[in-house]
């Protein structure tokens, strides 16, 4: 229970060096001379049992004109507490009690707190509380400590050698990687939750079947529950680069992702085949959000994407290199703000250059229809076609809203081009989504790529195509008004 991490000791040493000094002034014994604190409750987000939490801190202030002596500082539950603390560079003994801590007039002290919760044998989070109790001049004050502890099944560099089904009973915490061998299938039941530690990956040499539902989606995300210390209190859960990604590596495999949410990683989904053998990926009603690089990178693969949102990726939301693909009623929205974005939101290519070498990736069929390709760059689509060889480039983009100046490529049919990019009127903007910003998150909410009531994507879909996909990503009937909207969401 008394786990002390290396980072905790480093903080201890630094604070001790920087803030500890002799108090050479007289102490007041006036009972009315009280301590002040930067908070009355220190709240930890949900922590996984047996895993040390992040370190959280608060300040103790002496706002009085004379020095104070804190007679005692302790955890209320003593040596039975799951919490541990460091006050002004001092770590208490096993009793979790420090005595005679001095604080100058008009000065402050740091308190750092961590905890490790024992397994609770429950499928649900369990509430834990304690408090730090301070006695000064006969007066008792406290700061409450609260958290939820969640049991989890831990995989640390685990390779699964049999067909394996993961369930929603308990979350799964993954360190380093979780791997399924060739010829075996990893199945995720509705409501399964995979929490990935820093740089952890899901590596599939067999098959991946994710069976989420509208009511119980499968979720893959970081194991961090806290928020950035920025003005918007951005959840780490939605920051890119918090874990590795999903690698579908077998060219003969068949994968299905249904109602699956993947967010906050480096590479979302990578699927790679060969010139002669294309792995199959069918992705329906999914959300891939906030990746440092690609949302979905498909090379020599057969990919079907229906009713899916791929958003906010540092390279491209969707990169299709060779193979076959069908994208329908999907929203590709890129308002990535965590660095300079490199590519267009959607790239469909039949070649790559590596120095002076040209590599060809024939596209036998690639269709995008009833979709949205939009973002904060002036041009959000790239049809990268080799013009020096006869490499196949069988591409059709139709009935789709695209952020770009009008392009005359033969592959485009019945496109709604961004008004702002195709006019001489200064200051014209395009209303598409409900919210494309993270600023003032408490007031406006997080990014929301559902359609605004004034969206230029409304009532633009091909009804014949929509009739094959009558229900949107959120379960709404897109045919009820007879004028279905573009993208994954019906207004």
Question: Is residue 72 located within the same domain as residue 178?
Answer: no
Q: How many domains does the chain have?
A: 2
Which is more confidently placed, 102 or 235? 102
Confidence class for position 21, pLDDT limits 50, 70, 90: very low
Q: Which residue, 215, 227, 234, 295, is CA-closest to 263?
A: 295
Q: pTM for the whole thing?
A: 0.88
Give the domain-ending residue among 97, 120, 149: 149
In our burial notation (b when 16+ CB lie closer than 10 A, e otherwise), range 45-68 reads bbbbbebbbbebebebebebeebb
**Least reliable range by pLDDT among 17-31, 148-162, 299-313:** 17-31
Give the domain-ending residue among 421, 448, 479: 421
Q: What's the angle, vertex CA 71, arms to CA 65 and CA 74, rounded to 5? A: 120
Q: What is the mean pLDDT of residues 137-165?
A: 96
Q: Please give the pLDDT value at position 268.
A: 97
**Least reliable range by pLDDT among 110-124, 160-174, 239-253:** 110-124
Instruction: Give residue-wise pLDDT tens across range 434-475.
Output: 999 887 677 777 899 999 999 999 999 999 999 999 999 999
Q: Please give the pLDDT value at position 460.
A: 97
Question: Is residue 138 located within the same domain as residue 190?
Answer: no
What CATH number is attached to the domain comprising 330? 2.160.20
Q: Please give the pLDDT value at position 12.
A: 52
Question: Is residue 416 located within the same domain as residue 290?
Answer: yes
Which is more confidently placed, 15 or 73? 73
Q: What percent of the chain has pLDDT over 90?
A: 83
List the domain range (segments joined by +) for residue 22.
6-149
Task: Decide if 486 is inside a domain.
Answer: no
Question: What does pLDDT average to over the chain?
Answer: 92
Q: What is the mean pLDDT of residues 84-93?
A: 94
Question: Is residue 145 located within the same domain as residue 179?
Answer: no
What CATH number is attached to the domain comprising 59? 2.60.40.10
Give the domain-ending residue among 381, 398, 421: 421
Q: What is the mean pLDDT of residues 331-341?
A: 94
Q: Please give the pLDDT value at position 356.
A: 87
Question: Is residue 112 located within the same domain as residue 210?
Answer: no
CB 279 within 8 A of CB 299: no
Say if residue 416's pLDDT is above 80.
yes
């Amino acid at each position: 229970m008394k786990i002390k991490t290396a980072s905790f000791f480093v903080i201890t040493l630094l604070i001790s060096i920087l803030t500890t000094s002799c108090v050479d002034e007289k102490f007041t014994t006036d009972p009315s001379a009280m301590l002040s604190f930067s908070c009355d409750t220190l709240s930890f987000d949900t922590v996984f049992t047996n895993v040390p939490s992040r370190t959280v801190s608060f300040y103790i202030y002496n706002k009085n004109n004379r020095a104070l002596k804190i007679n005692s500082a302790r955890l209320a539950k003593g040596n039975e507490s799951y919490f541990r603390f460091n006050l002004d560079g001092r770590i208490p003994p096993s009793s979790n009690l420090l005595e005679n801590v001095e604080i100058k007039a008009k000065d402050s002290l740091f308190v750092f707190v961590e905890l490790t919760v024992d397994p609770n044998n429950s499928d649900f989070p369990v509430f834990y509380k304690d408090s730090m109790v301070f006695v000064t001049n006969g007066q008792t004050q406290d700061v409450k400590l609260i958290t939820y502890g969640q049991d989890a099944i831990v995989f640390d560099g685990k390779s699964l050698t049999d067909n394996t089904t993961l369930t929603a009973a308990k979350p799964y915490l993954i360190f380093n990687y979780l791997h399924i061998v060739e010829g075996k299938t990893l199945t995720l039941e509705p409501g399964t939750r995979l929490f990935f530690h820093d740089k952890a990956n899901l590596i599939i040499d067999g098959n991946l079947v994710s069976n989420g539902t509208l009511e119980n989606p499968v979720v893959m995300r970081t194991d961090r529950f806290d928020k950035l210390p920025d003005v918007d209190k951005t959840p780490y859960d939605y920051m890119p680069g918090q874990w590795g990604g999903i690698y579908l590596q077998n060219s003969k495999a068949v994968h299905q992702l249904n109602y699956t949410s993947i967010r906050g990683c480096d590479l979302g989904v990578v699927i790679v085949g060969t010139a002669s053998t294309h792995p199959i990926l069918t992705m329906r009603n999914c959300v891939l959000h906030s990746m440092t690089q690609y949302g979905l990178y498909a090379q020599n693969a057969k990919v079907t994407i229906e009713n899916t949102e791929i958003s906010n990726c540092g390279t491209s939301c969707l990169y299709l290199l060779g193979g076959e693909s069908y994208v329908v009623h999907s929203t590709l929205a890129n308002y990535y703000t965590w660095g300079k974005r490199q590519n267009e939101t959607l790239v469909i290519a039949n070649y790559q250059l590596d120095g002076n070498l040209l590599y060809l990736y024939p596209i036998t069929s690639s269709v995008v229809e009833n979709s949205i390709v939009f973002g904060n760059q002036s041009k959000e689509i790239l049809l990268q076609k080799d013009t020096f060889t006869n490499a196949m480039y069988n591409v059709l983009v139709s009935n789709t809203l695209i952020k770009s100046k009008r392009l005359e490529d033969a592959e485009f049919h019945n496109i709604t081009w961004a008004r702002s990019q195709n006019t001489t009127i200064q200051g014209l903007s395009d209303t598409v989504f409900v919210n494309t910003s993270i600023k003032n998150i408490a007031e406006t909410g997080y990014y929301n790529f559902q359609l605004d009531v004034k969206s230029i994507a409304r009532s633009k879909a091909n009804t014949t195509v929509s009739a094959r996909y009558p229900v949107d990503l959120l379960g709404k009937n897109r045919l009820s008004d007879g004028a279905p909207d573009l993208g994954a969401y019906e207004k």
